[in-house]
Amino acid sequence: MREIANPDDLLHWYDRHARVMPWRVGPADRAAGVRPDPYRIWLSEVMLQQTTVATVKSYFERFTSRWPDVQALAAADDGDVMGEWAGLGYYARARNLLKCARVVANEHGGIFPDACDALLKLPGIGPYTAAAISAIAFDRAETVVDGNVERVMARLYDIHTPLPTAKPELTEVATALTPDNRPGDYAQAVMDLGATICTPKSPACGICPWHTPCRARAADTQSDLPRKLPKKEKPTRLGIAYVVRRDDGAWLLERRPDKGLLGGMLGWPGSDWSEAPAPAPPLQANWQTLPDEARHTFTHFHLRLRIDVTIINGPVDPEIGEFIPRQRFKPSELPTVMRKVFDLAHGAFTKIG
């Protein structure tokens, strides 16, 4: 008879090897009765969507220092939140984060729901995040299925169906395995296992607490799992960014519309991004094209951005965007592609004087 994976074996491993994170209540503290702060769990889970733990840590510290609870975040200025999120990517997360904070503050008395179905109704909370908050913050027996869990389950049960087709099947076996005992710790334990032992490349099967029941390990297929459908090729798009510096040091920037790429973020005025972008200077000036272009890769295309710069004297009323005084302009509040443009333009201005 084939041996079945035992959740207690994983929990025992987690008790010894749980990763330490700023938002996490470790297994020892949890056993002593310490409860996680749902606000911090929610915030960390949204930040961790498609984003590495290492990247999230510093953002989490800055957010919780500036906005210690959901009421504080709900009262925050939109631009301040988008500015703090700059560099983390997937900016719809930040817009939905604010929406969610305001719903929780105004319609739930500042208390996060503990049930999945209620959490799912909130902006920016999907199946994974709802289960994660319910399990981790409230210790309810919900099953989290993220990329780690998909990989662990595909290997544990030697499932060769490629993702995303395999998702329902992987969810089913993951659900069947979820224990009623310590579900919050268990959810974090599966993800820790995927992140540190059952890794995408070169999994450390020799020290895995589920080594014995793992069917992929028995079949030596672990390195091929999970299978994934081939990805589409990324096209290259071109564009022009216009950097205007006023003689008093102010910069001309625009707030991008909420919908679409980099929605809600600050950026330089520019052309469309396409095969043949149409020039669209925000004002009449003596434009100079920089020798180097900014290169950036988004989720689904490569971008090559020509940079046109100019320096203007005295008051000018641009048709597009708004001058931001030197004192108030923080390059750290720009999304990465816009910061690359700034770095190149600033370097050129500095050299020219």
Partner DNA sequence: AATCCGTGGCC
Partner DNA sequence: TGGCCAAGGAT
Largest CA distance in the chain: 83
Contact at 8 Å (CB) between 293 and 304? yes
| 146 lines the binding site for DNA (CB under 7 A) | yes
Rounded least distance, CB 162 to DNA, Å:
11
| 268 lines the binding site for DNA (CB under 7 A) | no
344 Ramachandran zone, left/alpha/beta (phi>0; psi -120 to 50): alpha
| 88 lines the binding site for DNA (CB under 7 A) | yes
Give 157-165's long-range contacts (Cβ < 8 A, gap of 24+).
157/215, 158/215, 158/216, 158/218, 158/219, 158/221, 158/225, 159/225, 159/226, 160/221, 160/224, 160/225, 160/227, 161/227, 162/226, 162/227, 162/228, 162/229, 163/226, 163/227, 163/228, 163/229, 164/229, 165/229
Give burial (CB, 10 Å; 0-12/13-18/19+) of 85: buried
| 296 lines the binding site for DNA (CB under 7 A) | yes
Stretch that binds DNA, among 1-9, 68-76, 231-239, 316-324 (CB under 7 A): 231-239
| 19 lines the binding site for DNA (CB under 7 A) | yes
β partners of residue 304: 238, 295
Binding residue (CB under 7 A) for DNA from 260, 325, 331, 347: 260
> Residue 305 or 312: which CB sits closer to DNA?
305
> Residue 192 or 318: which CB sits closer to DNA?
192
> Residue 154 or 309: which CB sits closer to DNA?
154
| 336 lines the binding site for DNA (CB under 7 A) | yes
> Residue 179 or 263: which CB sits closer to DNA?
263
| 48 lines the binding site for DNA (CB under 7 A) | yes
- In the block, residue with structure tokens 């906005």: 67
Binding residue (CB under 7 A) for DNA from 9, 17, 71, 89: 89
Q: 209-228: which residues touch DNA (CB under 7 A)?
A: 228
Residue 201: DSSP 8-state = S
DSSP string, 137-179: IH--------HHHHHHHHHHTT--SPBTTTHHHHHHHHHHH--
Binding residue (CB under 7 A) for DNA from 53, 238, 311, 348: 53
The site for DNA, by CB under 7 A, has a size of: 57
| 55 lines the binding site for DNA (CB under 7 A) | yes
| 148 lines the binding site for DNA (CB under 7 A) | yes
State the catalytic residues: 45
Contact at 8 Å (CB) between 324 and 248? no
| 332 lines the binding site for DNA (CB under 7 A) | no
Interface positions with DNA (CB under 7 A) = 19, 21, 24, 44-45, 48-55, 87-92, 96, 123-130, 132, 146-148, 151, 188, 191-192, 194-195, 200-201, 228, 230-232, 234, 260-263, 296-300, 335-337
